[in-house]
């Protein structure tokens, strides 16, 4: 590489760590010295601090984002055969837990510009068996939550927000009131996987809710179905956030808004450099929501995606395809419900999207190097 001396990463976890190294090292050592590894004071403090940050009544930490979705669905008392609607263009975890619990995943298409779940398509998919909708706030901005809540009210459905990619995003309601992503539906589920916007140094996740009863149920289910130790009221799971991860998350939570601002600055740089090129569609900003840019995802038009990715890779620039195969065309989730071509937007997106490096540590020199390379390839 000519001008960029540091290796370019999709996500620069080490670069981010270096800036808060002394705080993180002290926090991790503190947990080790206290030996309060499970449900220690760090977990309780993190829970309270995240509740304050989000403006939500209850945060229930758990072991990962997939568990969060599973525990949420268990707490809602959904039964075998109940239908849960979610997007066809998403990470598999969302549909996986639906199927795992014996519920029926009902997939619907997304909007071509924002990648968010298509609300008209949801409306058409609702049947008497529909019990819940899981909107995925894909790549860092909210689905249209106010419309979704109206739909849920009309049909008496639960909304579980999959906020694994959008922690910290603000949704603005028609009356001007702002709410954090994940705190609008009945339950919000997030992940602290290292590469997520608020990532720990291992696995972690959480459920959020403003409902006292649901909070108590989720707390119980996450802890082997016990409200009181050794008294098991329901069949639960074992899903805990460990104290070392909580200590790390407490420090990183203080920087979350700063990280989102850095991601937005990188996204703006990409937009300015790439928008207007007829072969590249830069990501659209949805109405009523801020964007925390978990991913910066382009749609390519008449560009050989594999060749572009190889061209970039040869210059030391990583890229990723989120996601290459629509859920309804995955071996595990095929169903007679869906024929090929069922979700044309999702199928088109899977064929044309490419995500560029996106994290809090990108500088202008690197961004220029990346965008110059993309333009060189598509304009050749
Ligand atoms: C990461 C992710 C999950 C799962 O989170 P884990 O902590 O890896 O289990 C679920 N849904 C979406 C949309 C995600 O991006």
Length of the chain: 380
Confirm if 77 and 102 have CB atoms less than 8 A apart. no
Specify the CATH number for the domain of residue 274. Answer: 3.90.1150.10
6 in a domain, yes or no?
Answer: no
Q: 46, exposed or middle or buried, with CB in 10 Å at 0-12, 13-18, 19+?
A: buried
- Atom of ligand 1 at shortest distance to CA of 203? 7
Residues of the domain holding 141: 15-253
9 in a domain, yes or no?
Answer: no
The ranges of the chain with pLDDT < 70 are: 1-5
283 in a domain, yes or no?
Answer: yes
pTM: 0.96
Can you give the pLDDT at residue 210? 98
Give the Å distance between the CA of 378 and the centre of ligand 1: 32
Which stretches of 249-344 are assigned E, i.e. beta strand?
Answer: 280-281, 296-300
86 in a domain, yes or no?
Answer: yes
Report how many domains make up the chain: 2
Claim to verify: residue 247 and residue 297 sit in the same structural domain: no
60 in a domain, yes or no?
Answer: yes
Can you give the pLDDT at residue 37? 94
Give the Å distance between the CA of 197 and the centre of ligand 1: 12
Claim to verify: residue 216 and residue 260 sit in the same structural domain: no
Dihedral sign computed on CA atoms, order 185, 112, 68, 177: negative
33 in a domain, yes or no?
Answer: yes
Bridge partner residues of 356 (DSSP): 296
184 in a domain, yes or no?
Answer: yes
CA neighbor of 303 nearest in space, from 284, 327, 319, 316? 319
Eight-state DSSP code of residue 50: H
Give the Å distance between the CA of 276 and the centre of ligand 1: 33
> Which of 199, 220, 253 represents a domain boundary (last residue)?
253
For a pocket test of ligand 1, which of 141, 143, 165 has the largest count of ligand atoms closer than 8 A to its C-beta?
165
CA neighbor of 286 nearest in space, from 166, 154, 191? 166
Residue range 202-237, pLDDT digits in tens: 999 999 999 999 999 999 999 999 988 888 988 999
Residue range 323-346, pLDDT digits in tens: 999 998 888 888 777 777 889 999
For a pocket test of ligand 1, which of 192, 193, 249 has the largest count of ligand atoms closer than 8 A to its C-beta?
193
Claim to verify: residue 198 and residue 214 sit in the same structural domain: yes
Can you give the pLDDT at residue 5? 58
> Which of 253, 275, 303 represents a domain boundary (last residue)?
253
Residue range 344-374, pLDDT digits in tens: 999 999 999 999 999 999 999 999 999 999 9
> Which of 224, 253, 282 represents a domain boundary (last residue)?
253
Report the pocket of ligand 1 as residue ranges, CB < 6 Å: 64-66, 90-91, 93-94, 136, 162, 164-165, 191, 193, 203, 205
Give the Å distance between the CA of 29 and the centre of ligand 1: 28
Can you give the pLDDT at residue 2? 45
204 in a domain, yes or no?
Answer: yes
């Amino acid at each position: 590489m000519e001008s960029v001396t540091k290796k370019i990463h999709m996500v620069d976890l080490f670069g981010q760590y270096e800036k808060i190294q002394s705080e993180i090292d002290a926090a991790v050592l503190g947990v080790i010295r206290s030996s309060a590894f499970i449900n220690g004071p760090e977990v309780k403090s993190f829970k309270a601090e995240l509740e304050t940050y989000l403006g939500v009544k209850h945060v229930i930490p758990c072991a990962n984002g997939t568990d969060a979705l599973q525990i949420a669905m268990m707490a809602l008392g959904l039964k075998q055969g109940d239908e849960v609607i979610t997007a066809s263009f998403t990470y598999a975890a969302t549909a996986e837990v639906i199927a795992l619990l014996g519920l029926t995943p009902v997939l619907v298409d997304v909007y071509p510009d924002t990648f968010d779940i298509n609300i008209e398509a949801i409306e058409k998919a609702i049947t008497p068996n529909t019990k819940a909708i899981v909107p995925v706030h894909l790549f860092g901005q909210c689905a249209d939550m106010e419309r979704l809540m109206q739909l849920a009210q009309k049909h008496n459905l639960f909304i579980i927000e999959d906020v694994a990619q959008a922690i910290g995003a603000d949704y603005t309601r028609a009356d001007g009131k702002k709410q954090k992503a994940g705190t609008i539906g009945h339950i919000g589920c997030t992940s602290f996987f290292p590469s997520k916007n608020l990532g720990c140094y291992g696995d972690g996740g959480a459920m959020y809710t403003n409902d006292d009863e649901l909070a108590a149920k989720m707390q119980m289910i996450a802890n082997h179905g016990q409200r009181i130790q050794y008294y098991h009221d329901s069949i639960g799971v074992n899903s805990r956030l460990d104290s070392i991860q909580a200590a790390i998350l407490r420090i990183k939570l203080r920087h979350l808004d700063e990280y989102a601002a850095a991601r937005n600055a990188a996204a703006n740089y990409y937009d300015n450099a790439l928008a207007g090129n007829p072969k590249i569609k830069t990501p659209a900003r949805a109405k009523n929501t801020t964007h925390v840019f978990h991913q910066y995802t382009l749609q390519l038009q008449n560009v050989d995606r594999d060749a572009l990715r190889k061209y970039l890779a040869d210059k030391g620039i990583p890229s990723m395809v989120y996601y290459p195969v629509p859920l309804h065309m995955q071996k595990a989730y095929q169903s007679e419900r869906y024929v090929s071509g069922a979700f044309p937007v999702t199928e088109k997106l899977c064929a044309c999207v490419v995500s560029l490096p996106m994290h809090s540590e990108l500088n202008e020199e690197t961004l220029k190097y990346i965008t110059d390379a993309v333009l060189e390839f598509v304009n050749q």
